[in-house]
Amino acid sequence: MLLHFFKYHGTGNDFILIDNRQDNFPQNDAKLIRNLCDRHYGIGADGLILLERDHSLDFKMRYYNSDGKPGSMCGNGGRCIVAFARFLDMVNDRAAFSANGHHYKAEIEDDIISLSMSDVSHVETHDTHWFVDTGSPHHIEIVDDLAALNVIEKGAKLRYDVYGDTGSNINFVKPGSTDTFEVRTYERGVENETQSCGTGVTAVALAMHHSGRSQSKKIKVRTLGGDLEVHFDGDTSGYFNIKLKGPAVQVFKGYLEC
């Protein structure tokens, strides 16, 4: 099979994008997906995304983690596939697509994609952390020294010891000003720290507002790969009109025989 692929990243969170509107990609081949995402022997990516036909919307997003397994919603991946759809001349300045049975909308301005996220009905508050489902599950906790933290070691321990086989993404946060926070994320499915995580950034923003650490409904979150913004309405009883805003960039494209 000669595979025509495109590589995108959203603040360093990188993805292989494939136009699968002809349904040619062997989507149940987990080994192939793992090999394509392998950074030493394949293209290299945090995940693989198929753009497919949707009968009522612009397109459908099918997402796989780099372990080859189907993933839950990916915020940066969602922004990247919108940029990809515009590259394919499928959309102009707006897009509507489905992913995991949910509908999403996005606005496009140059390489900046503002993606509407799912509503969040509640934020779980625990003694040492918060838990928020923003389309993917997220554990959020504040740490004293974010720069020195061994994210892989501590993230893996929490991911497995606390959340079991199903797991959760783990986010470590350093507060800045009242509307700016820094975060580093351990992602399940990648089983490593990633440069950025869109659903994680969204979860962090909501948790910081819910806990009273920010009064703003426009929060900037700094990741290793760059800055993202989260805008939202609502309060501690629930959040809606949530938007994840930031760049989505095509890095390269090519063909791979596999």
DSSP letters spanning 19-84: E-TT--S-TT-HHHHHHHH-TTTSS--SEEEEEE--SSSSEEEEEEETTSSB----HHHHHHHHHH
User: How many C-beta neighbours within 10 Å does residue 248 have?
Assistant: 27
Q: If 0-12 CB within 10 Å is exposed, 13-18 middle and 19+ buried, where does residue 221 land?
A: buried
Instruction: State whether 45 and 83 are in the same domain.
Output: yes
Whether 155 and 57 map to the same domain: the answer is no
Question: Based on the domain organization, do 128 and 99 belong to the same domain?
Answer: no
The verdict on 216 and 138 lying in the same domain is yes
Residue 116 φ then ψ, to 5°: -75, 125
Query: Is the whole-model pTM more than 0.75?
Result: yes
Q: Enumerate the β-bridge partners of residue 9.
A: 14, 249
Does position 176 have pLDDT exceeding 90, yes or no? Answer: no
Are 93 and 192 in a shared domain? Answer: no
Query: Going by DSSP bridges, is the β-strand pair 249-257/13-19 parallel, antiparallel, or unpaired?
Result: unpaired
For the record, the structure tokens of 146 come out as 């974010």
pLDDT surpasses 90 at 258: no
The sign of the dihedral angle between the CA atoms of 45, 48, 51, 54 is negative
- Examine the domain organization and report whether 13 and 107 are in the same domain: yes
- Chain centre distance of CA 66: 13
Active site residue 197: yes
Please give the tally of structural domains in the chain.
2
Instruction: Mark whether 44 and 65 lie in a shared domain.
Output: yes
When pLDDT is averaged across residues 16-39 and rounded to a whole number, the result is 97
Dihedral angle computed from the Cα positions of residues 242, 248, 253 and 256, in that order, rounded to the nearest 10 degrees? -40
pLDDT at 79: 98
* Contact residues for 179 (Cβ-Cβ < 8 A; gap 6+): 214, 216, 218, 219, 220
Q: What are the backbone dihedrals phi and psi of residue 61, each rounded to the nearest 5 degrees, phi first?
A: -105, 125
In this structure, the answer to whether residues 153 and 88 fall within a common structural domain is no
Q: What is the pLDDT of residues 197-246, one digit of tens each?
A: 999 999 999 999 999 999 999 999 999 999 999 999 998 899 999 999 99
What residues contact residue 54 under an 8 Å CB cut-off, 6+ apart?
A: 60, 97, 98
The CATH number given to whatever domain includes residue 133 is: 3.10.310.10
Please give the mean pLDDT across all residues of the chain.
Answer: 97
Read off the amino acid at residue 96: A
Q: For residues 129 and 234, state if they share a domain.
A: yes
Rg of the Cα atoms in the chain: 17
What's the domain range around 73?
2-117+248-257
131 and 209 part of one domain: yes
Other beta carbons within 10 Å of 209: 22
Q: What angle do CA 55, 136, 140 make, to 5 degrees?
A: 155
94 and 128 in a single domain? The answer is no
| Start-end of H helices in 88-175 | 151-161
Q: Are residues 57 and 104 in the same domain?
A: yes
- Per residue in 96-126, pLDDT (tens digit) is 999 999 999 999 999 999 999 999 999 999 9
Q: Per the residue annotation, which of 37, 80, 197, 258 is the catalytic one?
A: 197
How do residues 61-104 score in pLDDT, each as one tens digit? 999 999 999 999 999 999 999 999 999 999 999 999 999 999 99
